[in-house]
Amino acid sequence: MTLLSVKVFDINNKELYSSVSISNDLWFYNLIPYLGKLARESEREQVQALIYNNYLIAFFNILPENSLLVAIASVNTSLRKLEHFLGLLSHTMQNSKRSLENFQDVCDSIIRTVDSHQEVKISLLGLERSGKTTFVNSFAKDRPLAEFEAYYPTSLLNIVRMEHIHDLPPITFFDLGKAFSQQWWRFSSESDGYIYFVDSSDSHRMKQAQVLLQELRNFWDLPFVIAANKIDVCRITNVKKYIGRKFQVSSRKVYEINTWTGTGILPLLKGLINNEIEGTKISVSLVHPTEKMTG
């Protein structure tokens, strides 16, 4: 993760700390009163972000001093990593003022931490025999056992942590078995998102799968995608469109996969992590230049 500049301002918009800036951010100072107002009017402590001048600007109000923490990054920067960075920097500022004498070093250290330790937790849900466990086991093919941090092969729950899946962060999978059907809600607070598995070849249980997903969505307010599994034996012509219509979700959330061969698994994971999870970690407002903002 590359940040162009990180700055801290007090309640009177006076700059307190600044990293070495690699951007021409003179235009940025006119935005500070506006960003401070947005941050302090927020109903809860949270990272907010907006896009301005083709930059991504994330900001956070640090209590109780009401200091404004602002980071400038390129527009394609990972929102998930940026939120994590600001959260750690905010914690450092609240607990160790002396360390901020070397603000640049603190920022560099936190960036290294974020880049190396960011992890995603994903629950695997769906009817029995829809492919959840086969999906997890597919990662074991041609992979050294050392890459598995934990694996509990029980009829209740499998927990597997995987690393080095292409350019994705480390992932912990919660494979929730049939016996956990009444306990799935417990993992909503542990998960960043979930994959809902559907056996696209089983037309007899399609309605049952629809009902279960609707029940999950009623109490799992989390990002999700649908894995339309067993496409090799499915007779449906356009699986994405069919599943999207049946389950009342956008077809972009539906991914055609085959857990036995591994077909479609990487696009599925990238879609969930990059498009769904990262896209909801921070509320991003597209802001156009206005006289009110910069005046």
Sign of CA pseudo-dihedral 156, 226, 247, 204: negative
Q: Is the pLDDT of residue 42 over 60?
A: yes
Distance CA 240, CA 257 (A): 11
Distance CA 78, CA 17 (A): 24
Alpha helix segments (H runs only) across the chain: 32-41, 79-95, 103-117, 132-137, 206-219, 239-247, 265-270, 278-281, 291-294
For 253, the 3-state DSSP assignment is helix
Neighbour count for residue 153 (Cβ, 10 Å):
11
CB 160 within 8 A of CB 136: yes
Of the listed ranges 26-40, 86-100, 134-148, 252-266, the least confidently predicted one is 134-148
Q: What is the pLDDT of residue 244?
A: 93
Give phi and psi for 216, each to the nearest 5. -65, -45
Distance CA 8, CA 169 (A): 29
Distance CA 79, CA 277 (A): 10
Distance CA 102, CA 104 (A): 6
Distance CA 214, CA 227 (A): 15
Q: What is the pLDDT of residue 156?
A: 56
- Percent of the chain at pLDDT exceeding 70: 79
Say which residue the tokens 């007090």 belong to. 10
CB 19 within 8 A of CB 254: no
Q: In sequence order, what DSSP letters do the residues of 75-114 get, joined into one string?
A: TTS-HHHHHHHHHHHHHHHHH-GGGGGGHHHHHHHHHHHH
User: Please, which pLDDT band fits residue 183 given cuts at 50, 70 and 90?
Assistant: low
Q: What is the pLDDT of residue 287?
A: 45
Q: What is the pLDDT of residue 91?
A: 81
CA 87 to mean position of chain CA atoms: 15
Q: What is the pLDDT of residue 245?
A: 93
Q: What digits encode the pLDDT tens for the residues 92-150?
A: 887 776 667 788 888 888 888 777 657 888 999 988 888 888 888 776 554 443 343 44
User: Please, which pLDDT band fits residue 22 given cuts at 50, 70 and 90?
Assistant: low
Q: What is the pLDDT of residue 99?
A: 63
Neighbour count for residue 223 (Cβ, 10 Å):
20
Distance CA 242, CA 248 (A): 10
Among 228, 211, 216, smallest CA distance to 191 is for: 216
Q: What digits encode the pLDDT tens for the residues 201-252?
A: 988 999 999 999 998 888 888 899 999 998 888 878 889 999 999 999 999 9
Mean pLDDT, the chain, as a whole number?
79
User: Please, which pLDDT band fits residue 25 given cuts at 50, 70 and 90?
Assistant: low
Domains of the chain: 3-117 (3.30.450.50), 120-279 (3.40.50.300)
Q: Is the pLDDT of residue 285 over 60?
A: no
Give the global pTM: 0.59
